[in-house]
Structure 1
């Protein structure tokens, strides 16, 4: 893991989301990362709430200048299903923030640009320079590829959080959440990269796919919240304990630690409700580290496709690692990662950001409607 990563310019598409929020805070903490735009896709919550969560968190992190845009408002072919039981009614657990100036409670702003058009303009204006990080259903990216088929060549890299191969699904027995929300979009995206690979797209531009096989190795323990608070210089220890009454709230002196602690507590409780223990799988943080160039991983090339017809296997991703279908590889599927080193990286960088936020007096109670 390099000490001084090269500069990375990221177009982030998310559906914030507790682990999306952690990923966004981490990227804001990386001084070598430029967030070119954050685009919002419906998934964990509706898209207006996603945008509201993104704008509020970026403002807390001292990054109110980052454009936050809305694209699609529903999946390509099926009704939207959200997940309040997993991420809370507003998507970020128990966390609350006031809406930034100029933003309504639903996340809208006057004259908001279209996410897909913004992405395409940015990619055309900066060919070979931008990394696309997709931690949501692939709806917006599918629309972007329809509008600009040259995107695989225009983008520098693509990192996707989604899918499950040799791992149990987290939405159905075989399907991962992001892919299941809009499997038709995921199928289109992988088909576009199959076509691009056949047309000579270099292997380094194929998507890096962070599936449940490796993201669920990023199993956060509640003690890590305490480590984050210590790194942020909190006046008192921050303890999130399994014995706490459900719905307990953080009293941390640092506003970013307080926000992340309240969000993650909900996630710990959810995982316990589903017999996984008082832990949290922070899928999107790992994908963010891959995009930022700060986390170690290994990959295997594969031809990836998505099932959209079978009721039993709807949304299931299938990877052909052996070339049995005689089609070119369209993705690099992550096969290994290093969670202990990754969590140390998270605490170091995000703790430093939280310390800066606290020193600057950010994140105190503000006038305006609450977000989250």
Structure 2
């Protein structure tokens, strides 16, 4: 997993940790929602909280390929995890660069690993520069990013991850051009991920599944400015993250809810989501000031260029939340036990 943790990245990471059959080989930290060092600290703390302290955490680049880094304290809080105050991690960030870690893992286990990319694509672009065979070495690639026939969430036309580093996104899609369809990355864009709209009642269901006796996040007037008092430690920290995210969405006229983009991408990567894709040729705009980071998909072959992506065009939110409650709630219960 490559992430810029980030509240929805944190939920995705907790979900991966909740699945006993998932071998989480490494977590690489890309600057985006916060700087790379803070991303890595968040990842170390979350892995320890979720019972996976041995997973290597590495940092790659500290900045986008060609433009300055812009972070999102208004969306995810100054440390990327909302109101949560995670315990100080005991583990250490790997001395090896994240790009080296990616390449070594892919070469040592060809055809086995899936790359889950929920951050700007900077680290993965650098890995492709260093090892152009990555698309063949990996079992699959899942990307959260972009928007097609859909408003952006950062500019009118651009999604956050591609807007932070459009040059990296352009390089990544170009690297997959002309490959067989089964080798193309699966892209979870805003039109699919904004359908995964988490609400307080689902957090309450997750808390109940984890064994909490008191309900969590029942209504905004009960939670404004308050810290979670959940008896379960994992639920308590996730609630404090998600409450910040709920409040951000409400301030922006989207209701007291949270788009948990990266959780959906994680469920696609591990095969628990039901979804449908269409192949397309993706272009990422890197020059026009007003359109930078905009992603355009040619589904009909009008450009006469080979496809380079499989874009999710159908998913099932109710199924996704049943899976989230069952799995992450179950993890919370096991950790308490």
What TM-score, normalized by structure 1, do the two folds share?
Answer: 0.89
> 1:250 aligns to what?
228
Larger deviation, residues 227-236 vs 284-293: 227-236
Alignment of structure 1 residues 1-372 onto 2, 5 Å? 12-103=1-92, 109=93, 112-194=95-177, 197=178, 201-244=179-222, 246-359=224-337
The answer to whether the 8 A contact 1:158-1:208 is kept is yes
Query: Which runs of 5 or more residues in structure 2 are unaligned?
Result: none
The answer to whether the 8 A contact 1:94-1:247 is kept is no
| DSSP-derived class of the 2:25 partner | strand
Render the CA deviation track for 1:286-305: whole Å, top value 9, x for unaligned: 00000010010000000001
State the Cα distance separating 1:311 from its structure 2 match: 1.0
Structure 1 moving runs of 4+ over 6 Å:
none
The answer to whether the 8 A contact 1:247-1:266 is kept is no
Render the CA deviation track for 1:113-148: whole Å, top value 9, x for unaligned: 110001001101111110000000000000000000
| DSSP-derived class of the 2:176 partner | helix
State the Cα distance separating 1:98 from its structure 2 match: 1.5
Render the CA deviation track for 1:303-333: whole Å, top value 9, x for unaligned: 0010011111111001000000001110000
What TM-score, normalized by structure 2, do the two folds share?
Answer: 0.98
CA-atom RMSD in angstroms: 0.9
Alignment: residue pair count: 337
| CA distance, structure 2, for counterparts of residue 192 and residue 101 of structure 1 | 38
Render the CA deviation track for 1:12-55: whole Å, top value 9, x for unaligned: 00000000000000000011111000000000000000000000
Query: Which runs of 5 or more residues in structure 1 are unaligned?
Result: 1-11, 104-108, 360-372
